[in-house]
Amino acid sequence: MANTRTVTVINGDGIGPEVMAATIRVLEALKVPLEFEHKDAGAEVVAKYGTNLPHETVEAVLRSGVALKGPTGTVVGGGLPSANVGLRKRLDLYSSLRPVKSVKNVKTRYEDVDLIVVRENTESLYAGLEHIIVPGVVESLKIITEKASTRIARFGFEYAKKHGRKKVTGVHKANIMKLSDGLFLDCCRKVGREYPEIQYEEVIVDNLCMQLVRDPTRFDVMVLENLYGDIVSDLCAGLVGGLGMVPGANIGERTAVFEAVHGTAPDIAGKGIANPTALMMSAVMMLDYLDMGEEARRMENALHKVYGEGKIRTGDLGGSATTREFTDALIAAL
């Protein structure tokens, strides 16, 4: 088929294959001109490849330029370094974009949440650069660079400008980490001066968490370094119904990997009850990225229709639908 784009598909671990199969079914029902090339990554493929991030998977994403990825598991304390961190570093996917929006009929404390989390994806403590100095003493390195901070700030302001958002909040802990977070803030301020039409403010990360819980409408686009972005993303997910609802994209200069915010959900894996919405919304973001806006809107509208009708929903939202039943309803709504 002419103009068919190849998308690398990485199922991942836990609920990954379940939500991925559901999402691919919807994309196929949409008849988008996409071809799916399946590649492996994650804890469950280590025995086969001796690594959780096979070289051929990275090569495939470099070739296709676009991947749809399920979550990959990482052992707590010990084990191999995270496949996610590896993928983001090797593809230089420097920005993580996570739109957090209320969905009709998903009952939460707030009805009008509309936040954008822009997370730096390559450095800070989340890079996991740590070593044992002597037994009982560990050093973990927080590297913050002007280059990475400037480009994530620019990504945040550009996003705000392109999408008509009014305000960017630089999130930090520069009262304590005066040099590292201080540099991050300096970069946000400098970039912000180039966008006089967009309001810029700064909030200390702990205060941000409290303010978000009290009144999420106070914020718009938030720009955060890696670790704060990781934590605040989950907090924001909780404001709109949980991790089953929030999509994400990891974007670099030449490649982009679309994946939900959630992890492998070991507690429900294999039961066929995971909520595929987050990965499906990530696929919507992918379609937009690929300039397939019409298909993106059809998929997004179908999701809103299913939620709008309020009949079919998965267990995480208080319903009893299985992943398959939810997906069937969505395909019927297309």
Q: Cβ of residue 200: shortest distance to ligand NAI, in angstroms?
A: 29
Q: Cβ of residue 85: shortest distance to ligand NAI, in angstroms?
A: 10
DSSP track, 306-323: HHHHT---BGGGT--B-H
State which residue, 125 or 174, has the beta carbon closest to ligand NAI. Answer: 125
Token readout for 44 is: 């469950």
Token readout for 267 is: 């507690």
Q: Does 263 bind ligand NAI (CB under 6 A)?
A: yes
Restricting to residues 113-132, name those near ligand NAI by CB under 6 A: none
Q: Does 64 bind ligand NAI (CB under 6 A)?
A: no
Which stretch, 146-154, 212-220, 272-280, 325-333, contacts ligand NAI (CB under 6 A)? 272-280
Q: What are phi and psi of 256, to 5 degrees?
A: -145, 135
Q: Kindly report the CA angle at 283 between 281 and 285, in degrees rounded to 5?
A: 75
With H, G, I as helix, E, B as strand and everything else as coil, classify residue 136. coil
Q: Does 255 bind ligand NAI (CB under 6 A)?
A: no
Hey, how many other C-beta atoms are within 10 angstroms of the C-beta on 252? 17
Is the CB of residue 258 less than 8 Å from the CB of residue 98? no
Q: Which of 74, 95, 102, 121 binds ligand NAI (CB under 6 A)?
A: 74
Torsional class of 57: left (φ above 0), alpha (ψ -120 to 50), beta (otherwise): alpha
State which residue, 89 or 172, has the beta carbon closest to ligand NAI. Answer: 89
Restricting to residues 279-318, name those near ligand NAI by CB under 6 A: 316
Q: Cβ of residue 95: shortest distance to ligand NAI, in angstroms?
A: 15
**Cβ-proximal residues to 177 (8 Å cutoff; 6+ apart), any chain:** 142
Residue 12, beta-bridge partner list: none
Q: Cβ of residue 193: shortest distance to ligand NAI, in angstroms?
A: 34
Q: Does 259 bind ligand NAI (CB under 6 A)?
A: yes
Q: Does 71 bind ligand NAI (CB under 6 A)?
A: yes
Q: At what angle do helices 293-309 and 323-333 cross, to 10 degrees?
A: 120
Q: Does 264 bind ligand NAI (CB under 6 A)?
A: yes
State which residue, 266 or 310, has the beta carbon closest to ligand NAI. Answer: 266
Q: Does 18 bind ligand NAI (CB under 6 A)?
A: no
Q: At what angle do helices 55-64 and 83-90 cross, to 10 degrees?
A: 40
Q: Which of 8, 11, 57, 84 binds ligand NAI (CB under 6 A)?
A: 84
Q: Does 243 bind ligand NAI (CB under 6 A)?
A: yes
Which stretch, 116-124, 200-208, 258-266, 304-312, contacts ligand NAI (CB under 6 A)? 258-266
Which stretch, 65-73, 86-94, 133-141, 161-169, contacts ligand NAI (CB under 6 A)? 65-73
Which stretch, 54-62, 95-103, 148-156, 261-269, contacts ligand NAI (CB under 6 A)? 261-269
**CA 161 to CA 171: how far, in whole Å?**
19
Starting at the edge strand found earlier in the chain, the sheet holding 256-259 runs 34-39, 5-10, 66-69, 256-259, 249-251, 95-101, 114-120, 221-224, 167-172, 199-204
State which residue, 25 or 190, has the beta carbon closest to ligand NAI. Answer: 25
**CA 30 to CA 299: how far, in whole Å?**
8
Q: Does 268 bind ligand NAI (CB under 6 A)?
A: yes
Q: At what angle do helices 293-309 and 16-30 cross, to 10 degrees?
A: 120
Judged by CB under 6 A, the number of residues near ligand NAI is 21
How many distinct helices (H) and strands (E) make up the chain?
Answer: 11, 12
State which residue, 8 or 180, has the beta carbon closest to ligand NAI. Answer: 8
What is the binding site for ligand NAI (CB under 6 A)? 15, 19, 71-74, 84, 243-244, 259, 262-268, 274-275, 278, 316
